[in-house]
Amino acid sequence: MSLKVDRAHYAPSRPYSDSPQPIGHDATISAPHMHGHACEYLIDYLKPGQRVLDIGSGSGYLTHVLANLVTESPSSDGHPGGQVVGIDHIPELVDMARNNMRKSDQGRKFLKSSQVKFITADGRLGWKEEAPYDAIHVGAAAKELPSVLVDQLRAPGRMFIPVDTEDDDSSLGALGLGGGQYIWVVDKKEDGSVHKEKVFQVSYVPLTDAPRG
């Protein structure tokens, strides 16, 4: 689905290089392989008609890719569409994401139909107005797993989130990984129980307050 979205509309320089690229305001667009990992781990929850929250939406690229997945065609129960909500705490990045998406016919249609929305807010709190979400992608590292985001997951649902934490035996998972910054895959089961697992080590910018001044 990423082939349907021109990364050059979202990365001002070296858009096709497999490395993070600066987009201004001390933010980056993640490397293509990281976006690929995110979609791979979330794919079972990115079906047509489902709802997704993209926290730290930045340039808007992954938001657009996710929208392609959940709006591909009506779901089996006839639900039209699906929706992706992109949230960022830097207003200039939210404006940039909207402008980037307007560079394509498809992007303009997504915005006009509200199948894609960009919101300026503290992503650490999620966006309860559109909850629950079938999938949540977090594009910056949290110091711990935010319970408010787990609360906004549908049951069943899945979150892909980088977490920078000390050793936590309860989340070692199959790889036996210790402390540090790792991608966690967080599953909320149909009965509301939560399972979390570290899957691989990463280096993300942290979830932070909006810059002052």
Catalytic residues, by residue number, are 30
Q: Looking at this protein, which amino acid is placed at residue 3?
A: L
Tell me how crowded residue 210 is: count the other CB atoms within 10 A of its CB. 12
- Residue 11 tokens, joined: 């990365």
Using left for φ > 0, alpha for ψ between -120 and 50, and beta otherwise, residue 120 falls in beta
- CA 138 to CA 149: how far, in whole Å? 10
Task: Give the dihedral of Cα atoms 38, 43, 49, 52; nearest 10 deg.
Answer: -20
Q: With both helix axes pointing from N to C terminus, report the angle between 61-70 and 91-101 in degrees, rounded to the nearest 10.
A: 50
Nearest to 81 by CA among 107, 111, 115, 53: 115
Tell me how crowded residue 121 is: count the other CB atoms within 10 A of its CB. 16
- Residue 91 tokens, joined: 């207003």
- CA 200 to CA 183: how far, in whole Å? 6
Give the rounded distance of the alpha carbon of 116 from its chain centre: 13
